[in-house]
């Protein structure tokens, strides 16, 4: 089945370049282009594309407003092309809040120094979004009923926040909105530290942490090497690097390091989960949210072996049911929650 793409950018050069990249794939066809957000809204309605690529800064109507209008009337997977600047990061987060599903740097060399590889990655991102297009309607329906697997605790006992010494949350595609949803429900009195792993480039995680800190009742910031875990505070793994937990007697600190050979996700949930399993066995709650791929599965296996509790987001509320699916299929999920239900559970712990 051919993936039908609508390309939106005010630069004629960019429109032609993206059209060439997508049309070079036998499974894709650019069915139209738009030079501003208003034209994008009209063409999204008339052409009914499978995926839309969207610039942010455009005349007549900007990309964020266009995303909001398209998602209101005709929900479609939208991939944002983002400038790798502080302003670009903020605009990208605004676009994700408006309903865009994913983003890539506008300069392809920031995806990969190998131009051919960058083009393949870009086409794969579009292909992945197209595969999950049908989920958009379901994500925007009222919350589904929670589906729970048996949890290893005494019958009738309710998990309390004090049952955990750490909460660690991992996500990829769709994750910024999902993490924001669950984190804003945690009260300021929560006496447990939190680690966050979101697949995101390095020049975006600082802005993401700042946004979460403004919206949440707990403190949130981008992790720095040597930061100590503190109750009621969340540390976000810096993009492009790895975040590990380290133990120094009673003190628990984080190590921020460069990625090693074979560590394809940067940051990686497997790396963070694995370090938590080694240094804080037992009373840990690991949460795996929406995202492509299976990052987090191996780390969750290590956590479960040390007595941790694992929650997974359910298929109906995921933008992309990849990472949580890997957890569920491997039998690692103690509970499977709709995103709204999960947020409520965290609020009531």
| Residues labelled catalytic | 172, 199, 295
Phi, psi of 30 (to 5 degrees): -80, 115
- The DSSP letter of residue 228 is B
What DSSP state is assigned to residue 218? Answer: S
Bridge partners of 236? Answer: 196, 222
Looking at the chain, list the stretches that DSSP marks H as alpha helix, in order from N- to C-terminal side. 12-23, 37-47, 63-73, 86-98, 115-131, 135-139, 175-183, 202-215, 269-279, 297-305, 323-329, 339-348
* SS3 label, residue 116: helix
Phi, psi of 284 (to 5 degrees): -130, 140
CA 184 → CA 187, 219, 347, distances in Å? 8, 11, 9
- What is the SS3 assignment for 79? strand
Q: What is the spatial distance between Cα 237 and Cα 239, in angstroms, rounded to a whole number?
A: 6
CB 182 within 8 A of CB 342: yes
Q: Give me 211's structure tokens.
A: 């946004």
* β-strand pairing of 242-248 with 251-257: antiparallel
Distance of CA 200 to the CA centre of its chain: 8
Count of residues making up the chain: 349
Max Cα-Cα span within the chain? 64
Using CA atoms, how far apart are residues 160 and 220, in angstroms rounded to an integer? 22
């Amino acid at each position: 089945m051919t993936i039908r793409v609508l390309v939106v950018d005010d630069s004629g050069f960019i429109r032609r370049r993206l059209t060439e990249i997508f049309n070079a794939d036998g499974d894709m066809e650019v069915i139209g282009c738009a030079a501003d957000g208003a034209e994008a809204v009209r063409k999204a309605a008339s052409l009914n594309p499978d995926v839309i690529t969207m610039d942010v800064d455009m005349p007549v109507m900007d990309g964020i407003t266009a995303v909001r209008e398209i998602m209101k009337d005709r929900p479609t997977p939208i991939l944002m092309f983002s400038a790798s600047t502080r302003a670009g990061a903020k605009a990208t987060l605004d676009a994700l809040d408006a309903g865009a599903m994913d983003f890539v740097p506008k300069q392809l060399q920031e995806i990969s120094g190998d131009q051919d590889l960058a083009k393949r990655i870009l086409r794969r991102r579009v292909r992945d979004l197209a595969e999950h297009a049908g989920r958009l309607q379901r994500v925007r329906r009222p919350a589904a009923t929670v589906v729970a697997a048996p949890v290893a605790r005494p019958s009738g006992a309710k998990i309390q926040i004090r049952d955990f010494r750490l909460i660690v949350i991992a996500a990829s595609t769709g994750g910024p909105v999902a993490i924001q949803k669950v984190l804003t429900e945690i009260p300021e009195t929560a006496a447990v530290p939190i680690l966050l792993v979101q697949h995101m480039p390095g020049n975006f995680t600082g802005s993401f942490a700042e946004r979460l800190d403004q919206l949440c009742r707990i403190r949130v910031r981008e992790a720095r090497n040597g930061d100590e875990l503190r109750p009621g505070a969340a540390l976000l793994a810096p993009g492009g690097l790895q975040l590990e937990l380290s133990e120094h007697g009673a003190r628990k600190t984080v190590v921020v390091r460069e990625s090693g050979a074979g560590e394809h996700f940067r940051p990686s949930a497997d790396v963070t989960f694995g370090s938590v399993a080694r240094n804080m066995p037992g009373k840990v709650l690991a949460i795996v949210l929406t995202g492509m791929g299976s990052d987090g599965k191996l780390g969750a296996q290590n956590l479960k072996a040390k007595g941790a509790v694992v929650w997974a987001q359910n298929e109906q509320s995921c933008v992309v049911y990849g990472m949580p699916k890997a957890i569920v299929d491997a039998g690692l999920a103690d509970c499977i929650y709709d995103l709204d239900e999960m947020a409520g559970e965290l609020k009531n712990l």
